[in-house]
Amino acid sequence: MEDDASRDTGDVIRRIRSREISTADDTAKAAALALEKAASEIGGATPEEFLEELGKTSRLLSESRPTSASLQNSTRFVIYRATLAAEKGLAVDEVRQSAIEAARTFREKIDEAKAKIGEIGSKRISDGDLILTHCYSTSVLSILRKVREEGKEVRVIVTESRPAFEGRKMTHEILRIGFPVTFIIDIAVRVFMHDVDNVMVGAEAIAANGAIVNKIGTSVIGTVAHEARVRTLVAAGTYKFFPESIIGQRITIEEEDPSQIYENTHHENLTVRNPQFDVCPAEYIDAIITERGMIPPQGAYFLLRKIFEEEYGFKK
């Protein structure tokens, strides 16, 4: 990840769009690094000129992955801190330094949040539990690593997570931690759900009403778990909250290349859709594990308002 510091913004954007940089956390860190590098290179005789140029870079990065709340919030955090410095009447070099420090702070926040989520989430896992997870989540992995440190033994069911098969990478990491894994196709979750103690997934974004956006198939798993009376836990830092959802803005659901799932996509009577994410309603989620504690989905609104007014300058 740190090698991104030597790359220009255009290259980082290309790597984000192509999914070479894929996880939500890595995407946010790459964007923050790109803004840090841009801030150090942008000229401008006044703070206003500097902010205008940094804002252009910020918008380009934000547009590269519209579903990723962590990416949007990384750029929001840097621009807000730099803007505050300018509003205080600081010189352009001091405003530049504020942007650089904000980018570094945001990357640190991600690592600190994951460590805290691991501590909090592990307390909700009992020795002998069978956990089902979907897609690749560094926050879920943080919890599982902490569970291992605490000496508890669990088993994990991992879905393949089509069409990009992120479940294979997740399986590899869980096996490295030392827990046995059962790898299944996505559509088989109902077959195994009644044996599961906890469903645990990450999130690409969290709305004010407690709904989450995550890898396609999450809403189906949440529905099946709800019907089977199996608890569904979401592990995600507060930097994945989507503040515009307070005012009713919907989170964009990105689609990937249709040829990823169907090779011959050029027939005149054929339409192929390949959404990468779906929305799991709050009523199918039992709790969201954040670095600020474990909250019910209904508590997302209040936590979002508090954090984003304090740290990002977002007001309804």
Range of the domain at 302: 123-311
- Let me know how long the chain is: 316
> Is the pLDDT confidence value at 49 over 60?
yes
Model pTM score: 0.92
pLDDT of residue 7: 61
Q: Is residue 316 part of a domain?
A: no
Tell me 267's DSSP state.
-
Shared domain for 219 and 278, answered yes or no, is yes
Sole residue written with tokens 């984000």: 16
Least confident of 37-46, 50-59, 199-208, 231-240: 37-46
> Is the pLDDT confidence value at 211 over 50?
yes
Q: Is residue 254 part of a domain?
A: yes
Percent of the chain with pLDDT over 90: 83
CATH number where 71 lies: 1.20.120.420
Shared domain for 193 and 233, answered yes or no, is yes
pLDDT of residue 287: 98
Which residue, of 89, 116, 143, is where some domain finishes?
A: 116
CA distance 44 to 36: 16
- Of 57, 50, 59, whose CA–CA distance to 96 is shortest? 50
pLDDT of residue 9: 84
Shared domain for 301 and 152, answered yes or no, is yes
The alpha carbon of residue 182 and the mean position of all alpha carbons in its chain are separated, in whole angstroms, by 25
Shared domain for 108 and 136, answered yes or no, is no
The pLDDT tens digits for 238-290 are 999 999 999 889 999 999 989 899 987 788 889 999 999 999 999 999 999 99
Shared domain for 201 and 244, answered yes or no, is yes
> Is the pLDDT confidence value at 314 over 80?
no
The alpha carbon of residue 161 and the mean position of all alpha carbons in its chain are separated, in whole angstroms, by 16
19 pLDDT tier (thresholds 50, 70, 90) = confident
> Is the pLDDT confidence value at 226 over 80?
yes
Which residue, of 116, 132, 152, is where some domain finishes?
A: 116
For residues 176-202, average pLDDT: 98
CATH number where 167 lies: 3.40.50.10470
The pLDDT tens digits for 287-301 are 999 999 999 999 999
pLDDT of residue 232: 98
Shared domain for 160 and 236, answered yes or no, is yes
316 pLDDT tier (thresholds 50, 70, 90) = low
Q: Write the single-letter amino acid at 104.
A: R
Percent of the chain with pLDDT over 70: 97
Sole residue written with tokens 């913004």: 9
Shared domain for 111 and 127, answered yes or no, is no
Mean pLDDT of the chain: 93
In degrees and rounded to multiples of 5, residue 180 shows phi and psi of -70, 145
pLDDT of residue 45: 83
Structure tokens belonging to residue 183 = 């790898």
- For the chain, the domain total comes to 2
Q: Is residue 263 part of a domain?
A: yes
Shared domain for 51 and 195, answered yes or no, is no
Structure tokens belonging to residue 192 = 């195994």
pLDDT of residue 2: 46
Shared domain for 112 and 144, answered yes or no, is no
The pLDDT tens digits for 24-34 are 999 999 999 99
> Is the pLDDT confidence value at 121 over 60?
yes
Which residue, of 86, 116, 146, is where some domain finishes?
A: 116
pLDDT of residue 171: 98
The pLDDT tens digits for 72-82 are 999 999 999 99
- Of 98, 94, 104, 65, whose CA–CA distance to 79 is shortest? 98
Shared domain for 96 and 150, answered yes or no, is no
Shared domain for 239 and 293, answered yes or no, is yes
CA distance 33 to 5: 6
The burial class, CB within 10 Å (0-12 / 13-18 / 19+), for 154 is buried
Tell me 263's DSSP state.
S
Residue 77 CA: distances (Å) to CA of 10, 64, 95, 112, 208: 20, 17, 14, 16, 19
Say if residues 66 and 140 touch (Cβ distance below 8 Å): no
> Is the pLDDT confidence value at 6 over 70?
no
Shared domain for 176 and 67, answered yes or no, is no
